[in-house]
Chains A and B, each alone.
Chain A
Amino acid sequence: MELINALVAVTNYVIIPATAYGAQLALGALGVTLIYSILRFSNFAHGDTMAFGTGVVILITWGFQAMGISFGPLPTALLALPFGIAVTAALMLGTDKVVYQYYRKVRAAPVVMVMVSVGVMFVMNALTRFLIGVDQINFDDGTRFVINARQWRDMTGLHEPLTLRSTQVITVVTAIITVAALFWFLGKTRTGKSMRAFSDNEDLALLSGIDPNKVVAVTWIITGALATIAGTLYGLDKSFKAFTYFQLLLPIFASAIVGGIGNPVGAIAGGFVISFSEVGLTYAWKKVATYLVPSWEPDGLVQLLSTDYKYAVSFTILILVLIFKPTGLFKGKIV
């Protein structure tokens, strides 16, 4: 019995939140890794792109709410999501036209591209702030729980509570759909195949008649979509705050590098490695410990790291990967 209670506690406080967070990171890391493999630079503006996309989704959600449109038990933001994606993708294409295109033409060094993305980051940051401000915003208006603590107790009779929030289920389901669509696109469609060819060998791809402008444009559209979805899911699950999204840049980069930058499967795996380590190391294991060893009454929280240091976890994993396996868990590219 105590063992089951311990398992429930671990599921409730570690497995469920880490799975949802991991799915959000994975979607973010997919965007970073796509830009990296097609355009060959680390996009520092990605966090702010996520913030911008989410900001647009929130505005449209408010618009829908004002018009009285709702999505039943699901959050209205899911209805607004396609519109948010369209706006963000348009912004991405515009940014590419105005900013990045020139650097591709002069074949600028990757590090110059990174610097350019810092400039874009400033502009995106300002746009998001103009759009929606810097405050914390909760925009989840759906049903809060799939299983709440009382239902769980009635269902199982266990005294250890377990709750499953609907945003967590929505996150995982949406992420699975998005990833499946992305892999289908990359693996089965003509454009997707030409993107992979472009990523593997740019010169050879150009030689075989692949239109680089189309590849780049599609990449930006997909990145805008991934960023908006990831940002919206994160905002639904936790809350929206522009600065938090900037800070997500570190775990997202860490996920992409841990998995092997430029490798989509790696980005997903990396997202879950980072999220499980982060949640597992910052969780206070006291409750689980008392279930497992009933005679032992720990005096602390049995917390390995305070939650304030969650970024240290991504950073440490990043450093370990850089030292021992710079290509990542799944073989990524090294340019």
Chain B
Amino acid sequence: MSSNRQAGETSRLRAPLFFAIMAALILLEGFTSGWNSALGILNMGLLSAIMALGVNMQWGYAGLFNAGAMGFLALGGLAPVLISMPPTPGAFSGGGPGIMAAFFVAIVAVLAAVWIWRNLRGKTRGLAVTAVLIVGFFTYRWLFDPAVEVIEAINPSAQGNLGGLGLPTLISWPVGAVLAAGAAWLVGKTALGLRSDYLAIATLGIAEIIVAILKNEQWLDRGVLNVNGIPRPWPVPYEIDLQNSPDFVAQMQAWGLDPQLGSTIVVKLAFLVLFVIVILALIWLTEMSLKSPWGRMMRAIRDNEISAAAMGKNVTRRHLQIFVLGSAVIGLAGAMMISLDGQMTPTSYNPLRYTFLILVMVIVGGSGNNWGSILGGVLIWYVWVKAGDWGPDIMGALAAPFPDGGLKDHLIQSAPHMRMLVMGIILLMVLRFSPRGLLPEK
């Protein structure tokens, strides 16, 4: 990797050119399939770009392979549920103390086990640690299970979960980042400093577990029953309010637009403005930090760990730091995505879409380049959506020479899977022929 990181002689026009192509594709989509669809792709593309920014911090600045972006994204998505949903009456007073006590017991047991491990020697150590953990686990379950039953019994058809704090949605975004950062710290603390691909395997695992928790812990987020109606962030209006407002309808009619279509477009534009503000803030922060001594140190570590360590830099510590920061950005994106969707559906988290596709975005955009991540995020999302749309047509054309029947039907039916193939080929091509991506790092 270090051999192809030198500053290249790329044209200054490269970045504006690619962003112009991206804008043209979105405009084309607007003119051909309508602005609703174009804005939908752009919004989700920008969210993917934020995820890509987080993964880029880990992979691009530090060479850390996070194979669990999905997990941090899902954990961030829990924040809007816990912060901005209205509280469930009676849930917290009924089950709250039990759950808090259970978590307290769990934390105390783990801390006690760690303390014993550090301070005892000999054979008693292993036995004592095991005993503390077993007692701790059973006490935890003894406190936890009845509390969960109480909460899940409250109005199970609509609630049955702890509910939120009823605070504004914008507050939940940074909270999502903090949740993801906490999980990342736990994983990074154990898996960093060992072989480089152990982190990949550990993150792969934590992602599966976080999603399993979200699917099964009904008291937390209703599990597979989904949480609906998550409030929107502050300036974004609701379509129905706009359609009921005479001023808005009059304005739309003055512009010759259908008020219903107009309201959805206005809502999407409002989200777009919020997302762009967040992206610009993130880019400004990351660019400033990359230009600072800290950023130079990070790149020095990435390019040659041994010489950086010889200069007295604590490589593992810095890796942990960047891993936590990157995961926080992914968590932020997760919280934003849930507020955009307005619902939490744990079954929709798929590692190919939310972990590996984001890696493709980072690498295609240009590892280590923040603008590259933005470009890669929107562009790859566009291709992903479009490959799903075009797949059947392309497959139909390809299958045309075959006689009608089993094989032809099979080929046409499997066309939606085309996007996987397209993504794999794009990733392999970029890694092979242009490892620095569309917008190489300066």
A residues 316-332 with Cβ under 8 Å of B? 318-319, 322-323, 326
Q: B67, B195, B216, B428: which contacts A119 (Cβ < 8 A)?
A: B428
Asked if B194 and A308 sit within 8 Å, CB to CB, the answer is no
Q: Please name all residues of chain B whose beta carbon is closer than 8 Å to the beta carbon of A41 when the two chains form the complex.
A: 197
* Contact A315 B424, CB 8 Å, known A111-B197, A115-B359, A246-B351: no
Q: Please name all residues of chain A whose beta carbon is closer than 8 Å to the beta carbon of B3 when the two chains form the complex.
A: 106
A residues 73-129 with Cβ under 8 Å of B? 99, 102, 106, 108-112, 114-116, 118-127, 129
Q: Does B13 contact A (CB under 8 A)?
A: no
**15 pairs, CB–CB < 8 Å, chain A vs chain B:** A112-B1, A116-B431, A129-B414, A129-B420, A133-B413, A300-B145, A304-B137, A311-B205, A315-B205, A315-B206, A318-B205, A319-B191, A319-B202, A322-B202, A323-B190
* Contact A122 B191, CB 8 Å, known A115-B363, A250-B201, A306-B216: no
* A122 to B423 alpha-carbon distance, docked (Å): 7
* Contact A126 B424, CB 8 Å, known A111-B63, A133-B414, A250-B204: yes
Q: Does A335 contact B (CB under 8 A)?
A: yes
Asked if A118 and B356 sit within 8 Å, CB to CB, the answer is yes
Q: Please name all residues of chain A whose beta carbon is closer than 8 Å to the beta carbon of B201 when the two chains form the complex.
A: 42, 250, 253-254, 257, 318
* A125 to B431 alpha-carbon distance, docked (Å): 19
* A178 to B80 alpha-carbon distance, docked (Å): 51
A residues 108-161 with Cβ under 8 Å of B? 108-112, 114-116, 118-127, 129-130, 133-134
Q: Please name all residues of chain B whose beta carbon is closer than 8 Å to the beta carbon of A44 when the two chains form the complex.
A: 67, 200
Q: Does A249 contact B (CB under 8 A)?
A: yes
Q: Does B432 contact A (CB under 8 A)?
A: yes
* A279 to B2 alpha-carbon distance, docked (Å): 44
Q: Report B223 CB to chain A, min CB distance, Å.
A: 9
Asked if A109 and B145 sit within 8 Å, CB to CB, the answer is no
Q: Report A309 CB to chain B, min CB distance, Å.
A: 6
Asked if A126 and B209 sit within 8 Å, CB to CB, the answer is no
Asked if B418 and A119 sit within 8 Å, CB to CB, the answer is no
Q: Report B370 CB to chain A, min CB distance, Å.
A: 19
Q: Does A247 contact B (CB under 8 A)?
A: yes
Interface of B: prevailing SS: helix
Q: How many A-B contacts are there with CB distance less than 8 Å?
A: 137
Asked if B1 and A109 sit within 8 Å, CB to CB, the answer is yes
Q: A119, A133, A312: which contacts B212 (Cβ < 8 A)?
A: A312
Q: Please name all residues of chain A whose beta carbon is closer than 8 Å to the beta carbon of B257 when the two chains form the complex.
A: none
- With A118-B359, A312-B212 given, can you name 8 additional A-B contacts, CB distance below 8 Å? A106-B3, A111-B65, A115-B65, A115-B427, A119-B428, A123-B420, A250-B205, A311-B212
Asked if B428 and A99 sit within 8 Å, CB to CB, the answer is yes
Q: Please name all residues of chain A whose beta carbon is closer than 8 Å to the beta carbon of B425 when the two chains form the complex.
A: 119, 123
* A334 to B190 alpha-carbon distance, docked (Å): 16
Q: Does A314 contact B (CB under 8 A)?
A: yes
Q: Report A121 CB to chain B, min CB distance, Å.
A: 7
Asked if A254 and B205 sit within 8 Å, CB to CB, the answer is yes
Interface string of B175-206 (1 = CB under 8 A from A): 00000000000000011001111101110111
Question: Which residue of the partner chain B has the closest CB to A43?
Answer: B197
* A116 to B63 alpha-carbon distance, docked (Å): 14
Q: Report A129 CB to chain B, min CB distance, Å.
A: 4
Q: Please name all residues of chain B whose beta carbon is closer than 8 Å to the beta carbon of A334 when the two chains form the complex.
A: 194-195
* A130 to B421 alpha-carbon distance, docked (Å): 10
Q: Does B319 contact A (CB under 8 A)?
A: no
Q: Please name all residues of chain A whose beta carbon is closer than 8 Å to the beta carbon of B216 when the two chains form the complex.
A: 306, 308-309
Q: Does B352 contact A (CB under 8 A)?
A: yes
* Contact A120 B424, CB 8 Å, known A250-B205, A257-B201: yes
Q: Please name all residues of chain B whose beta carbon is closer than 8 Å to the beta carbon of A309 when the two chains form the complex.
A: 209, 212-213, 216
A-B pairs, top 9 by smallest CB distance, nearest first, are A122-B424, A123-B424, A126-B421, A126-B420, A315-B205, A129-B417, A119-B427, A119-B428, A42-B197
